[in-house]
Amino acid sequence: MSNNKEAWGSRVGLILAMAGNAVGLGNFLRFPVQAIQNGGGAFIIPYLVCFLLMGIPLLYVEWSMGRFGGKNGHHSTPFILDSMDKRKFWKYIGVFGIFTNLAVAAYYCYLESWTLSWVWHSVTGSFSGQSQAQVASFFGNYISLETLEPIVFWIICLVLNTWILSKGLSGGVEKVAKVGMPLLILFGAILAFIAVTLKAGDHGAINDGTLGLNFLWTPDFSTIWSPKVWLAAAGQIFFTLSVGMGSIQCYASYVRSKDDIALNAMSAGWMNGFVEIVLGSAIIIPISVGYLGIDTVVEMTKNGGLGLGFKTLPYLFDQFGGALGVMCGVLWFGLLFFAGITSSLAMGTPCMGFMQDEFGWKREKAAWAFGFVVLLLGLPTVLFFNYGVFDEYDYWAGTVSLVVFALFEIILFAWVFGMDKGWKEITTGADIKVPIIFKYIIKFVTPLMLAWVFISSLPGIWSQIKNEAIDKQILAATDPAVIEQLQTQLLYVNISRVGLLLVWLGIAYLVYIAYKKRIKEGRFTS
């Protein structure tokens, strides 16, 4: 018997929690880098087209699947999917909707703890007077665990997440979203204003902040027909909306069947777009170009925006001097912290919902169990960060798993459950008129786009399985110490991969036990 009596407190709270789920560090660190690498201002065209053809349809699908499952008391994807078709294997596809949340939370909480630590160091002036190389080296020493500080901040972060989750949806998650999202937007707006009004010569800047904006937004229309650019846009839309994870279905499963999901989905989805496009584009690139120039920024962003955000911005904020520098550091890392925690909380709820629904666990027990499993799973990403374990988790759980699950769920919704029933689910109780064209987009266009994204990523997946990148580095290396380090990395990467597979199989086994338990108790399956 389920102990799950959760409910949302208010509609605004639900939308802010759902927007907070979508808004993550990638809105500020990934989007601007993707834009400058894929045609500047012209990138927004494929980005918005993918949002309309893939992002919005997936939002509608996941919200309606969640509400549909909630009607029968299902709050996690295994039995939500199971209730949509009589074939028994769908519940095992639904395992992805728990696995992804657990595995992503395992490394994401560590990333989130950096932001907390960097807030602390901004306040205490750790970056004050340091050179750019020294700040970068601070980051290197941090992730190499030269002190126990990273572990302390990680544990604090995990305990904080778990404690909030133990307070429930309206008493924990929703309260954090109601405080965190407005603060995030406020912090982002202040930083964007400072970045855009930065003038060459002020605080040692060599360029105006607007040069960075100009660089980011100048459209290179020659890129518009490049499949690489469209794939990058589709990928960005996919990851920014947190679709394919199972967390949207879980949040929506607490919405009653007569209540709206269509307007809620649009409000939360566009709020994420606002944070990404308006705020995300106006902070990191304008400030970095203002101090370092375009060429240096292009070079530094070749491996993504993480380094720029954590290794370079603290140094640049210090150039502002005094209270302004400290304030900007606190605002930037505070903003990233709120972006992170509202997402990591969303990762906890499907796992808790599953244990509450299937095994009758109480909320507090489910929350602390989630925290404990994330601690165990996350430990290798903390201890062996330099051996690629963090990246390996990110690749399989944070990239491949999302695409696979989204592809399956769109096929289930549009072709197995049926688009007529699906359309009824989307439009029941809707407070807006959903354009009928989305019925056809969901049935034909979105599955094709997802299949294209998946097929395009197959060579990369195969290359990852064969460890081609590390093998190439080993072949190119001449220093025996470097070769030994790479071989150790290979070992850790392979172990973490097997570990993730075992986690998936373990969850599948739990789903099997839950299914047998349901049969024994005569409870509804499909």
Partner 1 sequence: MNSSALIMMLATEIVVTLVTIYFFIKVLKTPPKEEPDSFSENDK
Positions touching partner 1 (CB under 8 A) are 7-15, 40-42, 44, 48, 170, 210, 213-214, 216-219, 254-256, 258-260, 263-264, 266-267, 270-271, 273-274, 277-278, 281, 429, 431-432
- DSSP-H helix ranges across 167-300: 174-196, 209-217, 227-240, 247-252, 262-274, 284-292, 294-300
Shorter beta-carbon distance to partner 1: residue 13 or 353: 13
Structure tokens of 115?
């932001």
Shorter beta-carbon distance to partner 1: residue 160 or 194: 194
HSE at residue 267, side-chain half, CA atoms within 13 A, is 16
Note every long-range contact of 480-488, with CB atoms under 8 Å and residues 24 or more positions apart, other chains counting: 488/387
Structure tokens of 207?
């360029």
Task: Provide, rounded to whole angstroms, the least separation between the CB of residue 271 and partner 1.
Answer: 6
The angle, 0 to 180 degrees and rounded to 10, between the axes of the packed helices 480-521 and 363-383 is 160
Structure tokens of 494?
């392979």
Give the phi and the psi of residue 436 in degrees, each rounded to 5. -60, -20
Task: Provide, rounded to whole angstroms, the least separation between the CB of residue 280 and partner 1.
Answer: 11
Task: Provide, rounded to whole angstroms, the least separation between the CB of residue 102 and partner 1.
Answer: 26
Task: Provide, rounded to whole angstroms, the least separation between the CB of residue 279 and partner 1.
Answer: 10
Shorter beta-carbon distance to partner 1: residue 123 or 278: 278
Residues whose CB falls within 8 Å of the CB of residue 246, separated by 6 or more in sequence, listed in order? 76, 77, 94, 96, 97, 98, 100, 101, 350, 405
Q: Reduced to 3 states, what is the DSSP secondary structure of residue 219?
A: strand
The answer to whether 103 and 396 have CB atoms below 8 angstroms apart is yes
Task: Provide, rounded to whole angstroms, the least separation between the CB of residue 97 and partner 1.
Answer: 21
Task: Provide, rounded to whole angstroms, the least separation between the CB of residue 368 and partner 1.
Answer: 24
Shorter beta-carbon distance to partner 1: residue 40 or 388: 40
Shorter beta-carbon distance to partner 1: residue 208 or 409: 208
* CA-to-CA separations, 137 to 96, 133, 134, 307, in angstroms, rounded: 37, 6, 5, 11
Spatial separation of the C-alpha atoms in residues 184 and 164, rounded to whole Å: 18
Shorter beta-carbon distance to partner 1: residue 7 or 519: 7
Shorter beta-carbon distance to partner 1: residue 116 or 233: 233
Amino acid symbol at 278: V
The answer to whether 397 and 497 have CB atoms below 8 angstroms apart is no
Task: Provide, rounded to whole angstroms, the least separation between the CB of residue 15 and partner 1.
Answer: 6
Shorter beta-carbon distance to partner 1: residue 135 or 192: 192
Shorter beta-carbon distance to partner 1: residue 219 or 293: 219
Q: Which residue has the tokens 């374990």?
A: 389
Spatial separation of the C-alpha atoms in residues 348 and 104, rounded to whole Å: 10
Task: Provide, rounded to whole angstroms, the least separation between the CB of residue 435 and partner 1.
Answer: 14
Task: Provide, rounded to whole angstroms, the least separation between the CB of residue 266 and partner 1.
Answer: 5
Shorter beta-carbon distance to partner 1: residue 265 or 407: 265
Q: What is the DSSP string of 83-106?
A: TT-S-TTHHHHTTHHHHHHHHHHH
Task: Provide, rounded to whole angstroms, the least separation between the CB of residue 167 and partner 1.
Answer: 14
The answer to whether 130 and 318 have CB atoms below 8 angstroms apart is yes
